[in-house]
Every structure is written in C-alpha cells, then in structure tokens.
Amino acid sequence: MEISKDLQRAVLIMVLLNAFSTSLMLSAANVALPTIAADLSLDAVALSWVPMAYLMASAMFVLVFGKLADTWGRKRFFLIGTVAVIVTSIAAAFSVNATMLLSARFLQGVSAAMLYATQIALVSSVYPAQRRGKVIGQVVSAIYIGLAAGPLLGGYAIDLLGWRASFLLQVPLAVVVLMLGVLKVKGEWSAETRTGFDVPGAIIYGLAILLFCLGISRLPAVDGFILIAASAAAISVFLRHARRTPFPIWDVNLFFSNRAFTLSCAASLIMYSTTYGNVVLLSLYLQYLKGMSASAAGMIMMLQPITMAILSPLTGRLSDRIEPRILASLGMFITAVGLLMLAMLSSSSSLLRVALALLMTGLGFSLFSSPNVNAIMGSVAQKHYGSASAAVATTRLLGQLSSIVLVTLALTLVMGNRPISPENYPQLEQSIRLSFSIAAALCIPGILLSLLRGRIHTANNAI
C-alpha cells in the first residue's frame, strides 16, 4: 500500500514528540533523586529502586506489548501507552510515601513499555528502507534532546516547586501526542498474519527479570544469591521454551540464525549497560559530593545527551552509507575513554573535567546508537519489524536496567542500607568510582562483538 508523505510526516512527528516527552520524564526524575530521598526518608538502596522499578517494569513488558502490537495494531498500543503514561505520571507526582512512589514508577514503566515497543516499528512501517536510517536518527535525536532537557528543566522545576514537578513536565506534550495520533494519523499497521500469544513465555521472562532485580538489592545476604540463581534458571527455561514453541513471545531463533542481528543486539545491551547509570551517578555526585543545586547539576548533566542529540541525525545518515559496525565500534571505544575519565573523579575534581568526560561519552554514544539501531532493523525482513523493534527496545531497557543494577550493587556492597549523609560521603564516592570502572571494562567485549557483526548493508540488500 502506498503511504502518502503527509501520513509519513504525521507519524514521524507523533513519534518524535513522544520520544522527547518520555525521555524528558525519565531524566528529570533522576535529577530529583536526592530531593526524593530527603522528603521520603529513603536509604541508598531504596533510592536506587526509584529508577530501577521503572526500568524493570519496562523490560518485563516490552516484549509482551511488541508481540500484541504486531497482532492488534502498533498505533493502537502506542496511543494506549500514551494515555497510561499520563495517568501514572500524575500518580507518581502525588505519591506520599516510598511504597506509593515505587508502585507508581512500576506502573509508569509498564505504560512506557507500550511506547518503547512501537516507536521504531511505526516509523519503519511507513518509511522505505533507504530512508530508515535517517528517520531512526531523528527519533534517536529526539530521545537525546529529551534526555538533555530533562536535567535542566527538571532541575529548575525541582528547585522551584519540589520533586513532584519532575513527574509532570511531560504530561502536556503527551496530551499533544495523543491528539495528534487520534486526529492526524489515520490507518493502522500490524504484522501480515496473526499468531498465538505465548503466555508461559511471557510469565517466565518477566519472572526472571523480577528475581534478578530483587536478588541484586538483597546482596550480600544469602537470599540475594538464591534469587539470582533462580533468575538464571528461569532464563534457561525461557530460552528452551522459546525455541520450541511455535509462536514465542520473543523469537530467539532469530538470534541463532542471524549473526548480524544477534551481535548488534548484544553490542546494544553492553553499551547501555555501561552508560545509562551515568545520569544517576552524576546526579548523586554533583548534588551530594559537589554540593550543587538540582538546576546547577542539571546544566552539567545535560552535556552528554545534548551532544548525542546534535550528532545522532548525522550518524544515522552516515550509517546508510558507511558500515554501522565501523561507526559503532569507534563510538564504543570513545565511550570507554570517557568512562575511564569519570572513574577517576573525586570530590575535589574540577567541573571542567566532568564536562570533558561527558562530552567524550556523548560523542561515543552518538557514533554508536543510530548506526546500531539501523543495523538491527536492516538485518531482518519487513515481516519481523515489530519483533526487531521490540528487540531494540528490549536490549536498550535490559542494558539500562543492568546499568542501574550495577549502581545498586555498588551502593549495596559499599554503603548498605544507610541514608546518604556527609558522614558516609567517602563510601558514596567509592561506590561511584567502582561503578564507572566496571562500566569502562565492559566496553572491551562490546567493541569486539560490534566489530564481528559483519556487513549490514549487504544483508539489507539481500532481503
């Protein structure tokens, strides 16, 4: 079916505004962490659950919604997710204790999973393959503009109105997205054929993620190791089940038969595992160890995502002509250098050093992200766009979740269940440096996987 340019433009604008608003919500909330801890009396480990509850829920449900959207319509689930994010954001803003806030964050993550599972699938459904890299670059750029604006706008909102305002910043934009989708985006997109839904697979997969997160937060207690072992067993069962069932929640057979797809997803998982925790770590570093206000910290923290926002459209276009593995591998190497710089920070380090490290990681990630997404989408046939889009979102979310798990683990092992106060600032500094050091080391296998993925453009031309 011929898709008009007006419809393509409407879909792209809808997705771009959504990508911006959800990222704005995510990064603004991270800036609010110290203020939330003080108001709700959260210790270091409980505080780490504010971002982790959101990411855990998104990772648990993004595959479910990706599969359902392929069957029942990608736009439909996109709009349902938009409504749900509005409602859960308001619930988070009006939470009066830790239980209410973490519950709202979990539901907010479930809602956002509908959006993550359908963003790339929608633009891939209406744009031809030769323009896909360009529009994916624009979507990625919108994400990073939101990540850049979140710390700045969120910081000022928190200083003026309190932490609750950080959860409401994106609500007006989400309403605009909803109206645009209902009034301007006519039509629906789904897979060519409907298949069964893998309920056992969805349950096992979600349980594995839940057990892993709970286990990490319980370390070094014995039950923490038991929960992690149970998570590993659940993952093993899930993989065996997914390979045998006719309509799995996630077609893992694609990982065993498509090398470019598999290694591109693995590289994405590692890259997000090494970098996403930056925003949480720097929020704690700048506001606790450097004594900065939320707005001042936000101005520093925006350097990395704004670099990504500026460069991502360029790297997306470049990946239509230059092999993604070259751009992505170079980007991961540059990111490793930036992470090493952050790993050597202390409470006495200059802000210029922090800024240079963030510019370095921003440059590296912008070289990696758009080309890698283009590689994933370009390595599969059109009938697998929904599953591939879910894989993009899943590896990103699992990587982001792993990054927060890394931060939680460092805080748990070094600080334990103690509130962050001047008396234990040395332990906080040690936790931050440990997290950045591990992240930098993880880039080494990521670079190797990225280099080994093969020629994406050749694969795309053969489809």
Range 10-37 average pLDDT: 89
Backbone φ and ψ for 275, nearest 5 degrees, come out as: -115, -30
What are the tens digits of pLDDT across the range 270-307? 999 998 888 889 989 999 999 999 889 988 988 888 88
Whether residue 441 sits in one domain with residue 328: yes
The reply to whether 192 falls in a domain is no
Instruction: Answer whether residue 3 shows pLDDT above 80.
Output: no
Note the pLDDT of residue 436: 94
Instruction: Answer whether residue 462 shows pLDDT above 50.
Output: no
To 10 degrees, the CA torsion angle through 282, 284, 290, 294?
90
Final residue of a domain: which of 223, 248, 273?
248
Note the pLDDT of residue 385: 67
Range 135-159 average pLDDT: 84
The reply to whether 209 falls in a domain is yes
* Backbone region of residue 250 per phi and psi (left: phi > 0; alpha: psi in -120 to 50; beta: other values): beta
Whether residue 255 sits in one domain with residue 375: yes
Spatial separation of the C-alpha atoms in residues 149 and 69, rounded to whole Å? 30
CB atoms within 10 A of CB 9: 12
Spatial separation of the C-alpha atoms in residues 166 and 381, rounded to whole Å? 40
Whether residue 182 sits in one domain with residue 147: yes
Q: What angle do CA 379, 380, 386 make, to 5 degrees?
A: 130
Whether residue 387 sits in one domain with residue 284: yes
Instruction: Answer whether residue 365 shows pLDDT above 80.
Output: yes
Note the pLDDT of residue 384: 67
Q: Collect all residues with Cβ–Cβ distance below 8 Å to 61 and sequence separation of at least 6.
A: 109, 110, 113, 114, 206
Q: With beta carbons less than 8 A apart as the criterion, state whether 181 and 82 touch.
A: yes
Whether residue 287 sits in one domain with residue 153: yes
Whether residue 258 sits in one domain with residue 241: no
Backbone φ and ψ for 419, nearest 5 degrees, come out as: -70, 150
Spatial separation of the C-alpha atoms in residues 463 and 456, rounded to whole Å? 11
Sign of the dihedral through C-alpha 132, 135, 141, 145: negative
What tokens does 395 get? 């590896």
Whether residue 432 sits in one domain with residue 332: yes
Note the pLDDT of residue 80: 92
First to last CA, the chain: 19
Spatial separation of the C-alpha atoms in residues 395 and 312, rounded to whole Å? 19
Q: How many structural domains comprise the chain?
A: 2
User: Within 13 Å of residue 316, how many CA atoms lie on the same side as its CB?
Assistant: 23
Whether residue 290 sits in one domain with residue 210: no
Spatial separation of the C-alpha atoms in residues 410 and 283, rounded to whole Å? 16
Supply the range of the domain harboring residue 223: 198-248
What are the tens digits of pLDDT across the range 422-448? 888 999 999 999 999 999 999 999 999
Range 335-348 average pLDDT: 93
What are the tens digits of pLDDT across the range 245-280? 888 887 777 777 788 888 888 898 999 999 888 888
Whether residue 229 sits in one domain with residue 123: no
Instruction: Answer whether residue 417 shows pLDDT above 60.
Output: yes
Instruction: Answer whether residue 461 shows pLDDT above 70.
Output: no
Candidates 214, 208, 255; CA nearest to 231 is 208
DSSP 359-380: HHHHHHHHHHHHHHHHHHHHTS
CATH number at residue 298: 1.20.1250.20
Whether residue 273 sits in one domain with residue 216: no
The reply to whether 393 falls in a domain is yes
- pTM comes to 0.82
Spatial separation of the C-alpha atoms in residues 412 and 435, rounded to whole Å? 12
Q: Collect all residues with Cβ–Cβ distance below 8 Å to 32 and sequence separation of at least 6.
A: 154, 158, 163, 166, 294
SS3 label, residue 58: helix
Note the pLDDT of residue 198: 86
